[in-house]
Structure 1
Amino acid sequence: MTQPLDIVIVGLTLSSSWGNGHATTFRALLRGLKAEGHRVTFLERETPWYSLHRDLPDPDFCELLYYDTVDELIETHRERLSAADAVIVGSYVPEGVEVIDRLAELQLRKLCFYDIDTPVTLAKLDRGDEEYLAKRQIPVFDIYFSFSGGEVLTRLERKYGARRAEALYCSVDEGRYAHTGEAPRWDLGYLGTYSPDRQPTLEKLLIEPARRLPEMRFVVAGPQYPDDIDWPANVERIEHLPPAEHAAFYSRQRFTLNVTRADMIAAGWSPSVRLFEAAACRTPIISDHWRGLDELLPHGEAVVIALHALTVVRTLTEMDEEARRHLADEAYGRVLSGHTGLARARELAAALAADSDGRESVLRKISA
C-alpha cells in the first residue's frame, strides 16, 4: 500500500448515474481509494440534468461538493486544490478547457487527466472538436490516465505529446455486484443508454435474435431510445435502471449482451464497465468484437464473441448449462482478480507515487 494521498477530482458527475457511465466508474474507484486509506474530494458542476436524477447525493466514501461556475470552482476551493497531492480532471467536465487552463495556472503539485472516454476524446480532437479538452493542453498533465490501453497509450504520447499515458480501465465494485440468486427471467438482456452508433449492433445481436426466437424472452434497459424503434413483442423495455438494481438485473438473465461504441471499437482495449459488472454477477456474456477483448476475456473461455445474429441464436439454443456456467465462472474469476475498484485504486495510487520520484516541478505553461 502506498502512503495515504489527498486527491481532488473534478469530474462530470458522481451523484447521478442517469444516462452516463462516469458515476459508476468513479464510485467503484473512489470506494477502492477509501479502502486503501486515501482521502478524496469530488467537485461536481451543478447541472439541472444530474441534480434532478441524483441517486447518490451524499456518498460515504469521499467528500462530494458542488460548484456553479468555473470562478467558484477555483476561488472557493483554491486552498484545497493547492494542498492536494494530486488534482485529477475528468473527461466531459462542463467548460473543461477553461477549467484545465485555470487549474494549470495554480501550479498544483500534480495535475492529471482521467479520460473515461478516450476513443471519443481523440476522435473529437482529430476533427477539431475541443468540447472539454484542447489538444494544446495534453502535454500539461503529469499523467494522462486513459480508459483505453494498448496502442492508444503510445498514440497519446507520440502524437498528442502526453508526458506519461497510463491505462486506468473502468472497474466493478465487487461489494455491490454479485449474483443475487434470483431465477432467470430473460434469455438475453442488454443494459445501456441509446447511442446511434451502437444501435445497429443491438439490432443485429439482440433484436434480430428476438425475432428468430419468439419463444424466448429478451430485455433492453436504458434511457433515450427513440420512439420509432420496432421492438419485437418478446423484448421488454426498461427506461432507467439505477445502479442499485443492476445486480438483480444481470442475475435474472441467462446471457447478457455487451455492445461497444464505434470509437472504442476502432481504438481497441476499451472495456466498458458493463462488461465487468456482468462478469461479477456471474452472468455469461455475449459481446461484439474489439482488439484487446481476448486479452481480458478469452473467446470461448470467458466470453462468446458474436459477429452475426446466428452466433447469438446458436448460443442461446445450443449451449448447455454446464458450458454456460463455465463461461460465467471464467469471466468472474478474471474480473474479480484484476478489475475491481480496489485493484484500480491501487493502480492509480501506484502511478501517482511513481510520478513523485523527487523530480522538480515543471512549470506548467499551456501554449496558445
Structure 2
Amino acid sequence: MSQLFSPISLGPLQLDNRIAIAPMCQYSADEGLATDWHMIHLGHLALSGAAILFLEATAVVPEGRISSRDLGLWSDEHAAALAPVVQSIRRHSPIKLAIQLGHAGRKASSAVPWEGGANIAPGDGGWQTVAPSPVPHAQGESVPHELDAAGMQRVIDGFVSAAKRSHALGFDAIEIHSAHGYLLHQFLSPLSNRRQDDYGGSLANRMRFPLEVFRAVRAAVPPEMTVGVRISAYDWVDGGWDVEQSVAYAQALEQAGCHFMHVSSGGVSPHQKIPVGPGYQIGFAECIKRETGMPVIGVGMITEPVQAEQILVSKQCDMVALARAMLFNPRWPWHAAAALGAQVQAPPQYWRSQPREYKQLFGETKLGQR
C-alpha cells in the first residue's frame, strides 16, 4: 500500500491520505474580506483529492497583514465574508479545512508581489509596523515600533478572537504561523529579537511570546479541534535561528498540547542564502520528527509522486505539503494515485475523466463528514 495514500491523524483530526495543500497567500482580499477569488481558488483546490487544505495566512489584526490585500479574521464581518467559501467547500468536497492564523510584524505594510513586494511607509499609503525590536527587515525600510506589554496583549487577543471565529466557521484545524520571518518568528530569531527584557536574549526568553500565543489559542478552542504550528527551522544566516533551537521550540510546543509541526525555513533576513533544490527542507522535518512525538509535515520543492512516496517511506516526515506544485497542477493527487497504484476521492461529476488504464483510480466522495 502506498504510504502517501495511507491514513494519518493530526491529533484528533483523521485524514484519508498524507497530502496537504500548503497555505499560499493570494493577496486578493478587500480590506481583509474574502472575495469571489477565494471561492474560485479554494473551491477548485478542494476538489484535488488532497486530505487537507490550509487557507492562506490570515491576519488576526489589521496591522498584522503582509499587504493591504491580505485575508483577515479580526471581526465578525470578516468571518461572515469567509463563511460562504467554507460552506460551499463542505457541500462539494470531503477535504479537511485548516486556517493559518498569523501576524506579519515588521514585514507588514508591503506591496503585493506582482507590484514589487516592497515595504510601504506610513506616509506613502502604508501603516506603522510592530516587531519585537525596532529593527527593520531590510535597510531603508520603515523602522517598526517595539511591542510593549499592551501591544503584545493586543496580538494575543487577536489570535484568540480569530481562533474562536475559526472554530465557529467550522474549520477542522488551526495552524499558527511561526515561520517565514513574520512576527512570531521575529521573536524567536536572534537576528530580529534584540530585546533586553524577559522576551529577548536567551532561547527560553525568545520562545516565551510565541508559546504564550500558542497556549492562548489552544485554550480558546475545544480540545477536539486540532492546533499546530508552522515553523522556519533555519534562518540560513550565520548566528540566526537554527535546527537545535527549532527542536527545543517543538518540544516545548508538544508539551503545551501542539498536534503537529509544519516545517519550512527562511524568511527572517534578506541576507539568507538558500540552496534550493528538490526536497531541500525535508532534513529539517526529519530532525524535528526524530526528537518529538508529533506528526511532522515536510515541504520544499516536492513535485513528483515517487519523490513524495520515498520521503514518507524513509520516515523523514509523516505528511508532505505542496504549494506551487499544486497551483501548477491542481489534480496532483489524482496523478500521484495513478502513478503509485492507489485510489483517490473525486466528485462524481468528474468520474468520466478516469483514463481507461486506471479503472479503480477514483473512490466515492463522502460529503458531509468532518
Q: Please report the TM-score for the alignment, with normalisation by the length of structure 1.
A: 0.32
Rg larger for:
1
